[in-house]
Amino acid sequence: MGDSVKLDSIDLGILDQLQQDATRPLEEVARQVGLSQSPCWRRIRRLSDAGLIRRRVALLDAERLGLGVTVFVSIRTDRHDAEWLSRFAEGVRDIPEVVEFYRMSGDVDYLLKVLVADIAEYDRVYKRLIGVAELHDVSSSFAMEQLKYTTALPLPEPTG
């Protein structure tokens, strides 16, 4: 969170309401935080302009879409130069089954979260992944059960 953004309890209430359900009518959000619609809308615009609300999306059910296999892929590489990283990052971003992609500290250089229908589909993703750039080690772990999933971020204490 940037230094220039002061969040009071009303701002945090608005953010909480929107991250629970962004389709909630403005009237309901305003009522929940104790404002009328116009001031609530101005705050939402300010929060969006400040980059705190990045976008509003529909969250889809991966299982119902036939994407019931979650794979966490740990990658180690011997290459750490900017050219390699650029090629690798661009190649991974082009693989739609990769839904999260992180550069890590520690023993693993990169961690990917991949959603696929089955092991055969993951094998196709794996072959595409190893064709993107030279990799030292690729290790795949298949999630057995999802115990928690949320897109809601923990909100800080009010600052304003």
Each residue's pLDDT tens digit, 64-114: 999 999 999 999 999 989 999 999 999 999 999 999 999 999 999 999 999
Residue 1 lies in a domain: no
CATH of the domain at 18: 1.10.10.10
Q: pLDDT tens across 123-154, in order?
A: 999 999 999 999 999 999 999 999 999 999 99
Do 80 and 135 belong to one domain? yes
Q: Are residues 77 and 38 in the same domain?
A: no
As for how many domains the chain has, the answer is 2
Start-end of H helices in 50-155: 82-93, 119-132
Residue 89 lies in a domain: yes
Residues 38 and 81 in one domain: no
In a domain, 30, yes or no: yes
Residues 29 and 73 placed together within one structural domain of the fold: no
Q: Do residue 73 and residue 126 come from a single domain?
A: yes
Contact between 130 and 123 (Cβ < 8 Å) = no
Does a structural domain hold residue 56?
no
CATH at 135: 3.30.70.920
Residue 120 lies in a domain: yes
Average pLDDT on 52-62 reads: 95
Residues 37 and 81 in one domain: no
- Name the pTM for this structure: 0.88
Domain containing residue 15: 9-49
Please indicate, yes or no, if residue 149 is contained in any of the structural domains.
no
Q: Which residues contact 103 (CB under 8 A, 6 or more apart)?
A: 85, 109, 110
Is 32 domain-assigned?
Answer: yes
The residue type found at 47 is L
**Domain contains 94:** yes
Residue 133 structure tokens: 């750039």
